[in-house]
Amino acid sequence: MKNLFYFRNSFIFTFFMMVMAAFIGYIYERTVAGILGTLFITMVLSVLEVSLSFDNAVVNATVLKNMTPVWQRRFLTWGIAIAVFGMRLVFPVVIVCVVAKLGPIAVLKLAALEPVEYSRILTSAHHLIAAFGGSFLAMVCLKFFFDTEKDSHWLHLIETRLIKLGRIEAIEIAILLLCLYFISRFLPEHEQAGFIISGMFGLITFVLVDGVAIAMEVTEESMKSAHRASAMLFLYLEILDASFSFDGVIGAFALTNNLFIIATGLGIGAMFVRSLTIMLLEQGTLANYLYLEHGAFYAIGALALIMFLGTFIEIPEMVTGLIGAGFIGLSLWASIRHKRHHGEVAHKECG
């Protein structure tokens, strides 16, 4: 029951969003069946978002530990507004604005009155979105596993070899660029250049944000420096959240073409992910479960690969969610076994 306290605001938010979803269903369908159908799709989208983003919550909690309390609060307040309304509502509109060369008002009218055409335009940019988001997520994953200072390993055989590779300067950048080129060869010729360029911008974004955050690392003598570093970590988390949301927004069109239903359902899921982040942070879950963080980064790597492959192979969202949940579940199980084993060893030594 204590853990439910962390989700109190999420349940309140869900209530208001479901009321909004019912209103949207009434506006478009004008029938009880239509309203109920809209509510069902909204709930499915929210569950889909949580299942795809559990690893996001784990990584969020990892980064938040290094931020000042002020910026932690800002991420959990401003960040939710950006996540719910920015990435799930505004960002898809911006994409369609760019692709279709239309103004924001025209795009909103298109989304409201011609949702099928709006969906077609947004989906046509999928390879660009996947390249950018997949590149950013791939760099997040590779940086973790190539970190030569990492001293805990879940899949020991794999991770010790990756650390050896990590001794090669900028090896993760070389691997990503090779992946972008290789994947692009499976795309239609007119999409190849756009895919590579978009992926390079994802890489550049990671390098800039991560590099500036490292340059502004917290020092004991400078709280001003700590605030600047936290600000960059805030930006890092927002871009990370955006990268996670790309696939969910595109995948949501398999259930509905209605932008407003998608924003409502995914917004509920994003709110629960934020609540989960707070719980993981305040309860020190990552410290108690040694391999949970590893599982999250494996899941991020898998999501990046799926985003790349999804540009030429149709991969159901359920598969993506199950793979992420599988890594998290297995790492949690391994963490519990590790904790139990070391507890027994400590007990024997005391005895």
pLDDT in tens, 278-317: 888 888 777 788 888 898 889 888 888 988 998 888 887 7
Instruction: List, for residues 229-245, the tens digit of each pLDDT value.
Output: 677 778 878 777 777 77
Q: Which of 143, 141, 158 is nearest to 324 (CA)?
A: 141
**Domain range for 10:** 3-350
CA nearest neighbour of 96 among 77, 55, 124, 116: 124
pLDDT of residue 175: 94
The total of structural domains in the chain comes to: 1
Average pLDDT over residues 262-280: 84
pLDDT band per the 50, 70, 90 thresholds, residue 247: low
Mean pLDDT of 20-31: 87
Give me the pLDDT at residue 345, please: 46
pLDDT at 219: 46
Q: What is the pLDDT of residue 177?
A: 95
247, 303 contact by CB (below 8 A)? yes
Q: What is the pLDDT of residue 346?
A: 45
Q: Residue 277 corresponds to which tokens in the numbers above?
A: 């982040």
Q: What is the pLDDT of residues 149-202, one digit of tens each?
A: 888 889 888 888 888 888 888 899 999 999 999 999 999 999 999 999 999 998
Identify the CA nearest to 240 among candidates 328, 142, 136, 91.
136
Count of residues for the chain?
Answer: 351
The pLDDT score that the predictor gives to residue 213 is: 59
Report the half-sphere exposure of 136 (CA within 13 A, side-chain side).
24
Burial class of residue 260 (count of CB atoms within 10 Å of its CB; 0-12, 13-18, 19+): buried
Helix ranges (DSSP H) in 154-222? 156-165, 171-184, 189-215
Q: What is the mean pLDDT of the chain?
A: 81
Question: Given the structure tokens 């989906």, which residue do they identify?
Answer: 123
The Cα–Cα gap between 205 and 135 comes to: 9
- For residue range 105-117, what is the model confidence (pLDDT) as tens digits? 888 888 888 888 8
Residue at 188: amino acid letter: P
The region of weakest confidence among 32-41, 205-214, 290-299 is 205-214
Least confident of 63-67, 110-114, 251-255: 251-255
Rounded Cα–Cα distance for residues 30 and 33 (Å): 9
CB 52 within 8 A of CB 247: yes
